[in-house]
Amino acid sequence: MTVSTPANVEAEVKNPERRGLGKGLYLIPSVFTAANIGMGFYAVMAAVRGFQLIGSGTEADLVQAANYLDNAARAIGWAVLFDMLDGRIARLTRTTTEIGVQLDSIADVVTFGLAPAVLVYVWGYGATLAEGSDLHSLAWFLSFMYLMCGGFRLARFNVQSSRPRILAEGSIKTDKKAFVGLPIPVAGGLIAAIIHFVPLPLVYYGPERARIYSILLMGLVGLLGVLMVSTLRFSSFKTVGTSSRSMRTIILAVAVGTLIFLYSRHVLLILVTGYILHGLLSRVLVLFRRRPEVTESTVQPH
């Protein structure tokens, strides 16, 4: 006869046996994660096809290339939605697993790191800057560093989430209400939103204008990389919809979804830009609201 000890009982509570429908629930978040990876792979393939058409140089091919690039940007937009859903569904159904967390990070590196880096290169400076020039090499480097910063951002997040107690002294503590550093889906989403707003490749606008736009685009890609590895706080919105006012949240979500369906080019760009500016302005306001520290030199003797 097997005797149930307190340790065995505790293990059974933490790792309950999965049967029937309960076992199938664990697959639902992974399905959305797989869809996330699929959208990233499609975005890369569409960008490659668009680059082939841009190389021909004819106006008709540039217009067709714009369709491929726009579809790639849309795929990244869908991936953002899938990335939001897999985490929420896992939390709501209490089906969060370690392998699911790691798979989600790998998916984000592909979809919001590699795919936007390739897409922005194809749409922007890849065809406008002379290959082999210093400026073209710098553009290539910035796209690579964007990918590296995104990978570091995800690795730091995983470490802080899984082992917050053994981090080095002075490390940022995790906060469910805020992300440390710009989330990589937002960074990739901004690149996708810009290309969705203006899908025609920059080379379409002529050499001079395309060169200026490419330099500005390089600055944006570099800025996004810096924001991802920074310690700035950006709202996670994980607590949205959990309060008694969740009905208002549902109405707001339906309204925003309708606006995206009707005016996706404008609304998506406004939403992503507004989110980033909100995080930056919040940091500025915190700096201004800080009171000057009282030092010994400022203390007047009685």
What's the pLDDT tens digit per position in 102-149?
Answer: 888 899 999 999 999 999 999 999 889 888 899 999 999 999 999 999
More confident of the two residues 240 and 43: 43
Instruction: Please indicate, yes or no, if residue 267 is contained in any of the structural domains.
Output: no
Residue appearing with tokens 């030199």: 297
Instruction: Please indicate, yes or no, if residue 3 is contained in any of the structural domains.
Output: no
Mean pLDDT, range 255-261, rounded to an integer:
90
Mean pLDDT, range 146-159, rounded to an integer:
91
Task: State residue 250's pLDDT score.
Answer: 80
Instruction: Please indicate, yes or no, if residue 10 is contained in any of the structural domains.
Output: no
Tally of residues, the chain: 302
Instruction: Please indicate, yes or no, if residue 31 is contained in any of the structural domains.
Output: yes
Instruction: Please indicate, yes or no, if residue 148 is contained in any of the structural domains.
Output: yes
Does residue 268 have a pLDDT over 50? Answer: yes
Mean pLDDT, range 51-62, rounded to an integer:
87
Band the pLDDT of 187: cuts 50, 70, 90: very high
For 116, the domain range is 22-164+171-239
Q: How many domains does the chain have?
A: 1
User: Under a CB-based contact definition with an 8 Å cutoff, are residues 205 and 213 in contact?
Assistant: yes
Rounded to 5 degrees, φ, ψ at 26 are -70, -15
Which residues neighbour 150 within 8 Å (Cβ) at sequence distance 6 or greater? 108, 109, 112, 113, 184, 187, 188, 225, 228
Which residues neighbour 126 within 8 Å (Cβ) at sequence distance 6 or greater? 51, 139
Instruction: Please indicate, yes or no, if residue 263 is contained in any of the structural domains.
Output: no
Instruction: Please indicate, yes or no, if residue 126 is contained in any of the structural domains.
Output: yes
The Cα–Cα gap between 210 and 300 comes to 62
- pTM for this prediction: 0.81
Instruction: Please indicate, yes or no, if residue 76 is contained in any of the structural domains.
Output: yes
More confident of the two residues 201 and 163: 201
How many other C-beta atoms are found inside a 10 Å radius of the C-beta of residue 67? 14
Residue 172 DSSP one-character state: P
Band the pLDDT of 298: cuts 50, 70, 90: very low
pLDDT mean across residues, the chain:
82
Mean pLDDT, range 186-191, rounded to an integer:
96
Of all residues in the chain, what percent carry a pLDDT higher than 70? 78
The CATH number for 207's domain is 1.20.120
Lowest mean pLDDT segment, chosen from 78-82, 172-176, 204-208, 271-275: 172-176
